[in-house]
Amino acid sequence: MPPFDVPEGDPFGPHNLPYGVFSLGGPGTGSDSGSDGKSNSDSGRRSVGVRLGDHVLDAGAAAVELGSPYAALLARPSLNPLLAAGRTAWSDVRRAITAWVTVPAHRETIAPLLHPLSEVTLHLPFEVADYVDFYASENHARNVGQIFRPDAEDSLTPNWKHLPIGYHGRSGTVVVSGTEVVRPSGQRKAPADPAPVFGPSVRLDIEAEVGFVVGTPSAMGTAVPLSGFRDHVFGLCLLNDWSARDLQAWEYVPLGPFLGKSFATSVSAWITPLDALDDARVAPPTRTHPLLPYLDDASDASEDPGGYDLRISVAINGHVVSEPPFSTMYWTAAQQLAHMTVNGASLRTGDLYGSGTVSGASDNERGSLLELTWNGRDTLELPDGKRTFLEDGDTVTLTAWAPGPHGTRVGLGEVSGRVVAGA
């Protein structure tokens, strides 16, 4: 029997230990935070929690009870102090918590601090500083190119293989899993229409992504090299980059996506530390174009191969529609970090960057409805009806796991959201 009654093989066993922020009481919906991620924000004291099976350990209270020197990092209403503490502290704290949940001598102290997931509310676990979204899947970029530029000689833009394309998104509308997503309104205009019309989006989509959370800041005017990735990035989460394709198509030339994306970005309530994912590290796909030195991970001295083998699953109303493999991403999170800072842009604790839509090579590995339905040309057959894009009432849930030590699986926290009509 594994420690503290977590079943053998549980993807949230003591080899995982992702971090979140919780308060007692809640809607009883497990990892959801209720119909409005903000409505419960004051319904109880917030503390850093660590997931163990289907329970949450009150890590703040545990640290206090056990007289841990990390109480100052854990008995807090946000992960930000822990994020800011740096890589050595991340490892030390993880080692301490592993001991708390595995050493029998701690059982009497820890057991009363484990709360069933169904009895807590999970909150946005950190204060998002800047939010950047990348575009790092070659399959996704080629699909999008073929859909929107069918006559182009190359489905990729000329820069795509030379740099990880990215743009800034709206950090103020990053919400935790469980937060309802109000269908956005805005302008849309098909090329043949005489003028734009205004109304609720008719092409509401998702993008299955992985989000990376920066802990250690960097100074303006300095670049973070590839080898600095693990010093600066604390962990990862699942991320759904909700997208209104009709708004986006009309607005995005020449300055990029704006209202088509800024209405909501959902992240999982659990941040998985990179320290839990050492067995999931894989080499990225072979690069077909030579890279400038600051992006060249083949010749980089660090031992980290850069890729992560994360198996993502996309479900609509509980029905799996796609299983995007993160290992296929052309650009790694380390390359994205190096690129993002090579111009001297600083990092702040709480910076979040999304990988871009994860799409594999196969039809059933695509990370957006845009690709799965080829921009609405095809339909998805679900038990509750056909879909091209999302309908009001649809719930989209991303889940994922990664290979862990000794044949285990490391579960990532789900990110889920239900679409509701605007007022």
Decide if residue 166 touches a second copy (CB under 8 A): yes
Decide if residue 346 touches a second copy (CB under 8 A): yes
Q: Tell me which of 15, 55, 140, 232 is the catalytic residue.
A: 140
Decide if residue 390 touches a second copy (CB under 8 A): no
Decide if residue 196 touches a second copy (CB under 8 A): yes
Dihedral, 238, 244, 245, 250 alpha carbons, nearest 10 = -130
Q: Are 59 and 114 in contact (CB under 8 A)?
A: no
Q: Which stretch binds a second copy (CB under 8 A): 59-67, 86-94, 99-107, 195-203?
A: 195-203
> Which CB, 105 or 423, lies closer to a second copy?
423
Decide if residue 169 touches a second copy (CB under 8 A): yes
Contacts of 144 (CB under 8 A, 6+ apart): 155, 370, 371
Decide if residue 162 touches a second copy (CB under 8 A): yes
Decide if residue 294 touches a second copy (CB under 8 A): yes
Which of residues 233, 247, 358, 372 is near a second copy by CB under 8 A? Answer: 247
Decide if residue 155 touches a second copy (CB under 8 A): no
Task: Give phi and psi for 100, each to the nearest 5.
Answer: -55, -35
Which of residues 82, 83, 204, 264 is near a second copy by CB under 8 A? Answer: 264
> Which CB, 253 or 301, lies closer to a second copy?
253
Q: Are 6 and 63 in contact (CB under 8 A)?
A: no
CB of 362 to a second copy, least distance (A): 25
341 is annotated as contributing to ligand binding: no
> Which CB, 104 or 293, lies closer to a second copy?
293
> Which CB, 300 or 323, lies closer to a second copy?
300
Which of residues 256, 281, 319, 395 is near a second copy by CB under 8 A? Answer: 256
Decide if residue 263 touches a second copy (CB under 8 A): yes
How many Cα atoms occupy the beta-carbon half-sphere of 151 within 13 Å?
Answer: 0
> Which CB, 347 or 400, lies closer to a second copy?
347
Q: Which of residues 29-48 bind a second copy (CB under 8 A)?
A: 38
Tell me, yes or no, if 140 is annotated catalytic: yes
Which of residues 78, 98, 157, 313 is near a second copy by CB under 8 A? Answer: 157
Which of residues 107, 142, 170, 281 is near a second copy by CB under 8 A? Answer: 170
Q: Are 113 and 58 in contact (CB under 8 A)?
A: yes
252 is annotated as contributing to ligand binding: yes
261 is annotated as contributing to ligand binding: yes
**Contact letters for a second copy, residues 205-244 (x by CB under 8 A):** ---------------xxxx--------------------x
Q: Which stretch binds a second copy (CB under 8 A): 14-22, 64-72, 171-179, 302-310?
A: 171-179
Binding site for a second copy (CB under 8 A): 38, 129-130, 132, 135, 157-159, 162-163, 165-173, 175, 182, 184-187, 189, 195-198, 220-223, 244, 247, 250-260, 262-264, 290, 292-294, 339-340, 342-348, 351, 422-423
Q: What residues form the annotated binding site for Mg(2+)?
A: 241, 261, 265
Please identify every residue annotated as catalytic.
140
Q: What residues form the annotated binding site for Ca(2+)?
A: 133, 207, 209, 241
